[in-house]
Structure 1
Amino acid sequence: MSLGQGDSLTSHNFGLQIDSVMVEYLAEVSGLSIEQDVIKSPQNSASGKPEIALLPGTQKDGSCTVVRGMTQSAAFTKWINDSIAGRMSVARVDASIIMMDYENNPVKRYNMRKAWCSKIDASTLKAGEAAPLQETVTIVFEELVIE
């Protein structure tokens, strides 16, 4: 059973795909955003009154932050390492954040074109601490397509 009339997606059911392959379980995704310039075009109407038309300008690059447990996911780690080493011919990939319904069927996709990892932060290591180790990774991209 998929989403019914009036149902909303829940924030806990999502995944990350890199080049169409589900590669990672994530704890958190935040800041998924992209911005577009707005061009103001002042003009006069047919009656001579001043008007301002708003036009779409250049789309800016975007970014998001993902938090993952320190796992042995080889594909995600390789992607991070390729990005850090500047191997952009293999680091720039198409990646997607996928929202799923209650039965894990994909319902909405945020497709990030030419995405790569620009930053990684490891969680604090503390003797005697009983907490999962996590990595926070910033992903940048050149285009966002929402399906």
Structure 2
Amino acid sequence: MSKITKTDAEWRQTLSPEAFRVLREHGTERAGTSPLNNEKRSGMFVCAGCGKELFASDTKYESGTGWPSFYAPVSEGAVGTSEDRSWFSTRTEVHCADCGGHLGHVFPDGPRPTGLRYCMNGVSLAFKPEKA
């Protein structure tokens, strides 16, 4: 259950059309298009919809998929998951625990220590660099 609820009209006022399509309509951005793929600074990746802290930069790694990938969320309650049966397969969808925004999917082929790959849409995220 989302803690933040807004109408589609309210979401459209704060999100770009592409962010709305991905976050609110469970879309997927094209692989390799997010500037966050190349983000190497220390900091926090937050939900582009509500600002909730989701992934610390030290859990980001290069998965070769074309989407920002992480091996663990920042805390146990940062994200939620649900079963996704679209595209003729069963996957585990990842969403923001506060606003319910679609972030991407998690797969069991990631690196240690978790073995998980949180494959996130960059448009679903914003980056907040660590303050010096």
TM-score w.r.t. the length of structure 1 is 0.33
Q: Larger RCO: Structure 1 or Structure 2 (Cα < 8 Å, ≥ 6 residues apart)?
A: 2
Structure with higher Rg: it is 1
Higher strand share: 1
Higher helix share: 2
